[in-house]
Amino acid sequence: MTTQIVLGNGYGLALATDSAVTVAGRRTYETSEKLILLGDAHPVAVLVSGSVTQFSLPIQVLLREWSKTLESGQLRKVADYRESFISWLRDNIDEFPEAERRLIDTFWSVDVYLHGCWRDSSGSDDYPTIAEKTEATFEYLRYWIDRHEGYDKLDRLSEIGGEAGCAKLIDELWSPREDYWVGLDSRINYWFDDVDSSALGEIKGLLKRLLVLRASTWELFGDTSNVVFAGFGSKEMVPAVASVRLMGGFKSWISSSSSIPNSASKIGVGYFLFERYGQTDYIDNILLGYRSELIESAVGVLQEAGAKVPSDSEDPQLSEGGREFVQDVSEQLWSAVTKGAEEQMLKPLRRAISAMPLRSLADAARSLVGVQALGKAISAELQTTGGRIEVALVSRADGVRVISE
């Protein structure tokens, strides 16, 4: 995981990122490079987080190879840099690991997802009997199918024929091949060997549907890398950011999801931009003035008290009124906290950032990343944020400058 901050106003942008990278959820290195520059002609910096690789290559290597193809002039908008990078990936994917190698990686990536489905359903120790495991599997698969039905489709899904194209991709992985895999059908037999065999056919049908939906709405064919482009296009007078989630791909299709580009917003006599990525819970505690988990605990206590109002009271209306009162108080508590945070914390924050000189923006961005790193350091959690804090300033006049600690 990582922590990254982007602060902007009419002067420009400050970007800050930690340098910690966690491998296999066990080992953290503090020398990862997460800030990429595109050259003097382009006042845009790139932040990377999440998986350090795409298509078996470091995402930083892919970005630098793409940057060599940029012409000397700026692109019109920051979002155009993102689109250029995605198009370059699609056009050059065959220059990365060979197609057969990518196909093998895709197969085993899907198998990892199948294992997760089994682990969270019939593989759980909560279900000791075959009947319970079978029912748990059905409930799990139907729940996630319903969830994915409501998700937005990934970018450029039409390139492979939409959801029907995803179904063809899954079909291609379903049956065994003599050269290097046994097929997803066989892997389902392996993972779900603890369910009622008479129900396995129906379970496979649900799993295939879930895989198709997962492939068309979320990550399935690889781990996720988040790439943020921040700076100025030639037609942009205020700073902007545009991000994309890269999630591997299948053959020549890049699985990705792009955010709506965001530009600095007008506030008072200036402009304001604040974006945060990755782990930011300790930062949020300071900026909001409260820890949401504590408010949720207080609301939970109130709701438990409401549930204990006797229902067999001589006056049923009084009992119902008591429960309604507790519910109203719970809602008012949350409302008061969020409104208070907006008026007392967030509005002053926006005004302050809109007026800061660039160097002060850099100091603020660095400090916020440091807050998250400190929070991790004094907790019992894995130190997934830390190491050297890299900071860069971006302005229309001076381009991108890296600020030393």
When the pLDDT of each residue in the chain is averaged and rounded to a whole number, the result is 87
- As a whole number, mean pLDDT of residues 22-46 equals 80
265: β partners: 272
Q: Which residues contact 266 (CB under 8 A, 6 or more apart)?
A: none
224 or 76: whose pLDDT is higher?
A: 76
The beta-carbon contacts of 376-381 under 8 Å, at least 24 apart in sequence, are: 376/279, 376/282
pLDDT at 76: 95
For residue 254, give the amino acid letter. Answer: I
pLDDT, one tens digit per residue, over 267-312 is 988 999 999 998 898 999 988 888 888 888 887 777 776 666 555 5
Same domain, 162 and 198: yes
CA distance 237 to 13: 12
Same domain, 31 and 75: yes
Same domain, 114 and 189: yes
Query: Using CA atoms in the order 113, 119, 122, 125, what is the torsion angle rounded to 10 degrees?
Result: 180
Number of domain units in the chain: 2
Longest dimension (CA), the chain: 82
pLDDT at 396: 93
Global pTM?
0.85
pLDDT at 366: 95
Locate 140 and state its tokens.
């799990």
- Cα–chain-centroid distance for residue 356? 29
- As a whole number, mean pLDDT of residues 152-169 equals 86
Does residue 49 lie within any of the structural domains?
A: yes
* pLDDT band at residue 30 under the 50/70/90 scheme: low
Same domain, 111 and 202: yes
Does residue 315 lie within any of the structural domains?
A: no
Same domain, 228 and 239: yes
Same domain, 92 and 106: no
Residue with the two structure tokens 């008290």: 305
Does residue 359 lie within any of the structural domains?
A: no
Locate 141 and state its tokens.
């698969």
CATH assignment of the domain containing 21: 3.60.20.10
pLDDT at 28: 64
Percent of the chain surpassing pLDDT 90: 51
Same domain, 32 and 62: yes
Same domain, 12 and 58: yes
* pLDDT band at residue 23 under the 50/70/90 scheme: low
Where is average pLDDT lowest: 138-142, 317-321, 348-352?
Answer: 317-321
pLDDT, one tens digit per residue, over 80-110 is 999 999 999 988 887 776 777 777 888 888 9
CA distance 166 to 172: 10
Start-to-end Cα distance in the chain: 22
Query: Using CA atoms in the order 118, 123, 124, 126, what is the torsion angle rounded to 10 degrees?
Result: 130
* pLDDT band at residue 179 under the 50/70/90 scheme: low
Return the half-sphere exposure (C-beta side, CA atoms, 13 A cut-off) of residue 361: 28
226: β partners: 49, 245
pLDDT, one tens digit per residue, over 258-268 is 999 999 999 98
Same domain, 204 and 148: yes
Same domain, 399 and 250: yes
Does residue 155 lie within any of the structural domains?
A: yes
Task: Give the end of a domain, one of 190, 217, 244.
Answer: 217
Which range marks the domain in which residue 258 is found?
Answer: 3-96+222-281+372-403
Task: Tell me the residue length of the chain.
Answer: 405
Percent of the chain surpassing pLDDT 70: 89
Locate 138 and state its tokens.
């059905």
Where is average pLDDT lowest: 23-32, 125-134, 209-218?
Answer: 23-32
Same domain, 206 and 234: no
Asked whether the beta carbons of 36 and 63 are under 8 A apart, the reply is yes
Task: Give the end of a domain, one of 217, 237, 272.
Answer: 217
Q: What are phi and psi of 265, to 5 degrees?
A: -100, 150
pLDDT, one tens digit per residue, over 321-354 is 666 777 788 788 888 888 888 889 999 999 999 9
Same domain, 34 and 163: no
pLDDT at 223: 79
Task: Give the end of a domain, one of 217, 236, 264.
Answer: 217
Q: Quick one: three-class SS letters along the chain?
A: CCEEEEEEECCEEEEEECCCEEECCCEEECCCCCEEECCCCCCEEEEEEECCEECCEEHHHHHHHHHCCCCCCCCCCHHHHHHHHHHHHHHHHHHCCCHHHHHHHHHHHHHHHHHHHHHCCCCCCCCCCHHHHHHHHHHHHHHHHHHHHCCCCCCCHHHHCHHHHHHHHHHHHHCCECCCECCHHHHHHHHCCCCCHHHHHHHHHHHHHHHHHHHHHCCCCCCCEEEEEEECCCCCCCCEEEEEEEEEEECCEEEEEECCCEECEEECCEEEEEEEEECCHHHHHHHHCCCHHHHHHHHHHHHHHHHCCCCCCCCHHHHHHHHHHHHHHHHHHHHHHHHHHHHHHHHHHHHHHHHCCHHHHHHHHHHHHHHHHHHHHCCCCCCCCCCCCEEEEEECCCEEEEECC
Radius of gyration of the chain (CA): 25
pLDDT at 220: 76
